[in-house]
Structure 1
Amino acid sequence: MAICGGFRRVFEVGPVFRAEDSNTHRHLCEFVGLDAEMEIMRHYFEVCDIVDGLFVEIFRHLNENCKRELEAINRQYPFEPLKVKYLLRLIAWWFQ
């Protein structure tokens, strides 16, 4: 609706509720989501650029500001380090 009202880009962060019949410890019925709406001026790659930049900034922020939390999670659920440089190379390769 905001796009119809003349806004070119609208981003909203807020709670999301799913009323699904799943009772497991790994299923989230409520979480925080990002809703993004934008006007496409020329090509849908504009959306890809926004999403790519968002992921790069999320990874950068987590690496810089959430080191203790990432270490705690990694002890229970091991994962590869969040490498922004790798992500940038992957994005560049994907859109060649």
Structure 2
Amino acid sequence: MGKKVIIARLRPNKDDDLRKALNNLPPYYDESDIVREALRQFLFSHEGRQPSFIGSQVYRNTPVEGVEDIALERSDEEFDLESNLDSFIKE
């Protein structure tokens, strides 16, 4: 069936843009899905099918307007996770 695993090495100073983009992917994206989609686009030009991922939707090099970072603060309040989960499940 051919290759089941493809190993690619990102080269210093040549693939820094790829390394940065992969490091900045949201955690819910699987890198292997992105690589497979890129190979399909390169090899087949998406003939006869819509792309699963569009790069500009996955990774943005510039910040999105109107989106602000949310700063998390540690709370000193006592928090009982078990009782909160129980009350949430019973509702």
Tell which structure's C-alpha radius of gyration is larger: 2
TM above 0.5? no
TM-score computed with the length of structure 1 as normaliser: 0.25
Q: What is the TM-score normalised by the length of structure 2? A: 0.26
